[in-house]
Amino acid sequence: MNQILDYGVGNGDNGGGKPKKNNKNYDNGNFGGGNNFGGGSNGGGKLPISDKIVKVFAIGMVLLAICLIISGVTSIMNNKDESDKGKNATEQHEEVQAEISAELNEISAKVKITVESPIIISKIIYSWDKGHENIISGEKKTTLETEIVAPYGEHVLHVQVTDEQNNKTTKDFTFDSPTGIDTTLPNVVLTVTESKKLLITATDDTSIAYVTYTWSDENGNEGETITMTPEEEGTKEYEFEIDIPRGKNTIVVYAVDGSDSANAKTASKVLEGVTKPEMTWYLTDDGSLLQITCTHEVGIKSIVYTLNGNRSSWDAPEGETWPDLSFDIVSAEGNNELVLTVTSLDDETLEWSHNWEYIKEPEPVEELPIDEQGDGEGTDEDEELPVDLQYDEETDEDVLGSDEREENN
């Protein structure tokens, strides 16, 4: 300021006082009291360039700070709005629930499911006892009715409704239908026993009608299909044992229940089995002799039998293989009781028992010729007497002829 005053100040349009001679930079029109500086209409002089840069930079920083503040406030407000929207959506989602009802008609054995939803229904999923799921289309409706078949007995119906906004509503119903259709499959269990047999057990909530089983070898060759039927109707648990064939084999078991729908269940199992010894026997017509033949593909190890309490045994010589063996058992007179045990080289056994009766016929008696002459020699009337014998009626005996008497004399 002192420097400017030293150069002079003017009151008119062109400035005032006269500058000093020592000042090299002065101009009447541009510096001093003229239009551009001083007290005239244009006033003072120009600012230095560095001051302008600082001023522009300061203004820019202020504007940047204002922008950052505005951006931060906007972001906070947007986040709050999104949070409020999410909260409202969650509240709205919880409130959107469909109404589900189900009613059993015991005469028709059907259940009517009714669904009412504020939003278009996408699908209905139902299952009995949370088993197999069945899907019904929503048909672009907000109200839907459908009928399904009720199973026999007491079961739980699980229903889930999904709308087009993916809202889900679930509800369970318990029904006991005495006229319903049996939809429960039989259960089949295959167990290998300690005696190396296969125990087949089939169970059902109504009854077991029949069970079939088929063996097939490792090459896929199937054997005969065997059908087993319970002795009593209405059997809910049916079990039986069968032999396991030798080698690697697969058994397929098929169990059918006794309901009108004939529900069926299949079970299979791969087993390593061994064969038991086999035998054939023949009893003579009079029962005096029992002939037995034992066979086994690996070989027979031993045979033990008890006849009327008397035990007999046979063991194969060490190192020898006997695939078959035949022997005879002589019957005792009267009743005979036999218990036979055959053991193979792989320690599989066959047990067999048999009872029979043997009545020994009396030996035939030789008939002697009729002795009408009373001589005890058994000659009859048709037999001619020797020439040298004559009958003496007085003595009632045969006597020598005359020729023999002379010879004896």
CA torsion sign for 306, 307, 310, 311 is: negative
Neighbours of 82 (CB within 10 A): 10
User: Which domains, from first to last, does the chain contain?
Assistant: 99-177 (2.60.40.10), 188-273 (2.60.40.4070), 278-358 (2.60.40.10), 371-409 (no CATH)
Cα dist. 53→46, 56, 58, 59, 65 in Å? Answer: 14, 5, 9, 10, 18
* pLDDT tens-digit series, residues 265-320: 899 999 887 778 999 999 999 999 999 999 998 899 999 999 999 999 999 998 88
Q: What is the model's pLDDT at position 375?
A: 54
Cα dist. 379→301, 335, 382 in Å? Answer: 65, 45, 8
Residue type, 392: D
Task: Kindly state the helix (H) or strand (E) to which residue 253 belongs, with its residue range.
Answer: strand 247-257
22: pLDDT confidence band, cut at 50, 70 and 90?
very low
**Pairing state of beta strands 134-137 and 264-273?**
unpaired
- pLDDT exceeds cutoff 60 at 5: no
Q: What is the model's pLDDT at position 168?
A: 93
- Cα gap 263→283, rounded to integer Å: 48
Global confidence as pTM: 0.41
Cα dist. 257→28, 151, 185, 234, 393 in Å? Answer: 127, 14, 8, 10, 101
What's the mean pLDDT in 215-225? 92
Could you give the count of Cα atoms lying within 13 Å of 346 in the half-sphere of its Cβ?
A: 12
What's the mean pLDDT in 34-50? 48
Of 97, 220, 210, 110, nearest in space to 160 by CA = 97
Q: What is the model's pLDDT at position 21?
A: 42
- Cα gap 14→34, rounded to integer Å: 4
Of 290, 228, 272, nearest in space to 253 by CA = 228
Tell me what the pLDDT averaged over the chain comes to: 79
Percent of the residues in the chain that have a pLDDT greater than 70, as a whole number: 73
Q: What is the model's pLDDT at position 390?
A: 52
Of 79-83, 301-305, 318-322, 331-335, give the lowest mean pLDDT range.
79-83
What's the mean pLDDT in 125-141? 91
